Chains A and B, each alone.
Chain A
C-alpha cells in the first residue's frame, strides 16, 4: 500500500500516526484513572463512571456560556476554571452518592454494579430533563482549535497535546497523592486490611468517601477535557464506558502502573491496526487480543499481591 507515496510523505505520516497513538493513550489513561482508583482501591464497579464524566462536560459547557455572557474578555482562559469546577462538581456528587448509596453495599460488590447502573440511567434522564435531549456544543477559545505546523506536512492537533499534558499532570498528582501523602497511605492501608486499618485509628468511612469522590472528580476533569474531542449529550458517557472498563480490567484492577501499561498497549495496538485496516476490524482484533491475554492472565497485566 505504500508504493505510491514519497518517502517524505511516509515519514510524516508515521510521525503523525505516532502522535495519534499517543493521544489515544492519553485519552485512555485520563478516562480510566478515576475508575481505576474506585475499582482498584474500593472494589466498587462504578457503572455510572461515564455519567460522572458527562457532568464534567456539562459544567464546562455552563462555564463557557457564563464567560461568554459576563466575562468575554477572559474567555480564552475559561477552560482551566471549568476543569476545576468539573472536578469539584463530579467529586461532590461522587461523595454524595457514596454516602447515600455505595456505603450500604460494600459487603455486596455485585450489587454495586446494579446500583451504579441504575444510577447511570437516572443521571442520564436527569441530564436530559435539565439540559434537553439534544447535544450541546461547547465553544472553545480560539487558541485551543486547529493544529501546530511542525513542518510542511506534519501537523499536530493542539487539543491532543493539551490532553497529553493534562494526563501527565493528573497522573503525577494521583501517584503523588496515593504513594507519598499521608492520606494515600491510609487509602492503601484500608485496601490491604480494612479491619486492622480501622483498629489503628484510620477513619475508614471517611477514607472511602474521599476515595470515591477523588475517582469521580477525576472523571469530571476527563469529561471536561473530552469536550474538545467528543460530544456532550445526556448519553455521551456511554461512549466511553466500555473502553474504560477494558483498560482497567486489562491493567489489573488495583494497580496504577497496570492501568497506564494497559492503556498504552491497547491504544498502540488499536491505532496501528486502524491504520492498516478498517476501524471496526481494528477494534475486533484489539478486543480479541485482550480477551486472549486475559485468558492467560486473568488478574490483568499487573496485580497487587493482597493477602486473601
Chain B
C-alpha cells in the first residue's frame, strides 16, 4: 500500500530528473531521444506488462547450453547488442530496456516452460528467442495462450503465421527461389543433387526446391538424400554424387554433420571451384567449425553476409566486434536476431503502446532503415520483406557477395504450387 503511494509521489520527480539528464546528450547527439516525451505508464501499458515509468522488461530465450548453444550464442549476443544500442539512443517510449535471459537448454519442453515463466511471472513485453523450428513450435502455443510477442530470428521452412510472432529471418521460398534462379541462369545448371539432414526444415525446403527446379526451371533432380542429424559419414553419398555428376549440389545439412560433409567432400577430391554447390545452411558461424579451406568456392543463399558493403553493416560489424571480441563472426541468423529488438522498438513507437494487441496490429508496414542487411519492412503476414543474396565462400571464412535481388522479395509462408 505505502509502496504504491510512494511510487505515485516519486515518479513525476524521477521523470523530471530523467528529463534533465537526458536533455544534454539529446541535444548534442540524438535529436529524437525520447526520454523527454515519455508518456504515462498507464497510457502505454493497459495489460499489466512489466513496464514502469523508467523501465520496460523483455525476455531473451535461447539455448546457452546443450547442443544448440553452438548456433544460438550469436543470436543472444546480437540481441544484447541491439538492446544496449537502443538504450544508448534513449530507450523505448522513454523507458530503458531491461532484459531477463532464460536458457532453453536445447530442450523443447524447457523452451515452452521458460516462455511461460517469462510471460506469466515476469510479464515481459516481448520475447526475443527460439532458434530451431522445434523450439518455436513448442513456444508458439504458449505465446498465443498468454498473448505474448515473439521475435524469431532463424530462416525456416514457412507454413506458419501467427499474430503473436514476428519472423525476422526468411521463410523457405524467399531464401531458396532467387538462389536457384540465379544458379540456373548463371551456370546453366540443369541437374541438381539434393542432400539434407533428416528433419522438417531440409525436407520442406527441398520439396519447394524440387518443385521449382522441375516446374519452373525445367531441370532435373538426379538425387535426393537425407541423413540422420549428427551423421558423420558421407562417403557413400559422395560416391553417388560422383556417379550422377550433377550440375549443382544443393545442400541443407546442419550442425556437426555439416563439418563432416565438407571435410569429406574435399577429401574425396570434389573441387568446389569446379563443382557448383549451393547451400542454404552454412553461414559464417558454421564456417568457423568447417574451416574456410574446406568450403572455399561454395555458394550460399542467404539474406545477409558479414562482408556486405554498406554503412549500416559496417557500423554493426564494428559495434558487434567491439562488444564480443575481434574474432567473432556474424552469420545470417545473428543479423536477423539483431533486427528483433529494433523492430519491436519501432513498432512500439508506431503503436504508442506496449500492449501486445496494439503491437501485433501495428507491425505490418513497420520499416527499419538501419538494418545491417539494408532496408527491411514487416509484411501483413508478420514476415519481413528482404533481399535474397548469393555469396561465395572464401578461404578466410567470409563470403564474397556475388548476386543480390534488385528488389525486396515478398515473404510467402504458404506458397501456392509448392506444397
Task: Report chain B residues within 8 Å CB of A202.
Answer: none
Contacting pair B239 A229 (CB below 8 A): no
Is B317 positioned at the interface, with any CB of A under 8 Å from its CB?
no
Contacting pair A238 B235 (CB below 8 A): no
Bound complex: CA A282 to CA B234 (Å): 12
Give B270 Cβ to nearest chain A Cβ, in Å. Answer: 9
Contacting pair B235 A20 (CB below 8 A): yes
Contacting pair B288 A136 (CB below 8 A): yes
Bound complex: CA A16 to CA B256 (Å): 24
Contacting pair A229 B70 (CB below 8 A): no
Bound complex: CA A81 to CA B250 (Å): 38
From known contacts A20-B239, A146-B269, A233-B256, infer whether A134 and B70 are also in contact, taking CB-CB under 8 Å.
yes
Q: Which of the residues A24, A228, A279 comes within 8 Å of B263, measured between beta carbons? A: A228
Task: Report chain A residues within 8 Å CB of B242.
Answer: 13, 16
Task: Report chain A residues within 8 Å CB of B154.
Answer: none
Contacting pair A145 B293 (CB below 8 A): yes
Is B321 positioned at the interface, with any CB of A under 8 Å from its CB?
no
Bound complex: CA A228 to CA B291 (Å): 11
Task: Report chain A residues within 8 Å CB of B260.
Answer: 229-231
Instruction: Give the size of the chain B interface in residues (CB under 8 angstroms).
Output: 47
Contacting pair A134 B288 (CB below 8 A): yes
Could you mark each residue 116-159 of chain A with 1 if its beta carbon is under 8 Å from any beta carbon of chain B, else 0? 00000000010010001111111100000111010000010111
Is A36 positioned at the interface, with any CB of B under 8 Å from its CB?
no
Is B405 positioned at the interface, with any CB of A under 8 Å from its CB?
no
Tell me the total A-B contact number using a CB cutoff of 8 A.
144
Is B64 positioned at the interface, with any CB of A under 8 Å from its CB?
yes
Contacting pair A240 B232 (CB below 8 A): yes
Contacting pair A137 B291 (CB below 8 A): yes
Task: Report chain B residues within 8 Å CB of A135.
Answer: 70, 256, 259, 286, 288-289
Task: Report chain A residues within 8 Å CB of B237.
Answer: 274, 279
Is A236 positioned at the interface, with any CB of B under 8 Å from its CB?
yes
Task: Report chain B residues within 8 Å CB of A128.
Answer: 65, 69
List the B residue with the shortest CB-CB distance to A281: B226
Is B231 positioned at the interface, with any CB of A under 8 Å from its CB?
yes
Task: Report chain A residues within 8 Å CB of B230.
Answer: 238-239
Task: Report chain B residues within 8 Å CB of A155.
Answer: 268-269
Bound complex: CA A271 to CA B260 (Å): 16
Is B66 positioned at the interface, with any CB of A under 8 Å from its CB?
yes
Task: Report chain B residues within 8 Å CB of A13.
Answer: 239, 242-243
Give A235 Cβ to nearest chain B Cβ, in Å. Answer: 4
Task: Report chain B residues within 8 Å CB of A24.
Answer: 233, 235
Contacting pair A133 B225 (CB below 8 A): no
Is B215 positioned at the interface, with any CB of A under 8 Å from its CB?
no
Is A160 positioned at the interface, with any CB of B under 8 Å from its CB?
yes
Give B273 Cβ to nearest chain A Cβ, in Å. Answer: 13
Is A204 positioned at the interface, with any CB of B under 8 Å from its CB?
no
Chain A 1-32 interface residues, beta-carbon cutoff 8 Å to B: 5, 9, 13, 16-17, 19-20, 23-24, 27
Could you mark each residue 271-312 of chain B with 1 if its beta carbon is under 8 Å from any beta carbon of chain A, else 0? 000000000000001111111110000000000000000000
Task: Report chain B residues within 8 Å CB of A147.
Answer: 267-269
From known contacts A17-B236, A234-B69, A278-B225, infer whether A137 and B288 are also in contact, taking CB-CB under 8 Å.
yes
From known contacts A147-B269, A157-B264, A233-B70, infer whether A275 and B236 are also in contact, taking CB-CB under 8 Å.
yes
Bound complex: CA A234 to CA B106 (Å): 13
Bound complex: CA A129 to CA B225 (Å): 36
Is A73 positioned at the interface, with any CB of B under 8 Å from its CB?
no
Contacting pair B64 A159 (CB below 8 A): no
Q: Which of the residues A17, A27, A136, A146 comes within 8 Å of B289, measured between beta carbons? A: A136
Contacting pair B226 A280 (CB below 8 A): yes
Task: Report chain A residues within 8 Å CB of B238.
Answer: 20
Is B11 positioned at the interface, with any CB of A under 8 Å from its CB?
no
Task: Report chain B residues within 8 Å CB of A234.
Answer: 69-70
Give B59 Cβ to nearest chain A Cβ, in Å. Answer: 20
Task: Report chain A residues within 8 Å CB of B69.
Answer: 128, 133, 234
Additional A-B contacts beyond A133-B72, A137-B289, A230-B260 (16; CB < 8 A): A24-B235, A134-B73, A145-B293, A155-B269, A157-B268, A229-B260, A230-B263, A231-B256, A233-B70, A235-B70, A236-B256, A239-B256, A275-B236, A278-B227, A279-B231, A283-B231
Q: Nearest 10 A-B pairs (CB), nearest first?
A: A135-B289, A231-B259, A20-B235, A157-B267, A274-B236, A279-B227, A133-B69, A147-B269, A155-B269, A137-B291
Q: Name 19 interchain pairs, CB-CB below 8 A, sorted by A.
A: A5-B243, A13-B243, A19-B235, A24-B235, A132-B73, A133-B64, A134-B288, A136-B288, A137-B291, A157-B235, A158-B267, A228-B267, A229-B264, A231-B290, A233-B70, A234-B70, A239-B231, A279-B225, A279-B228
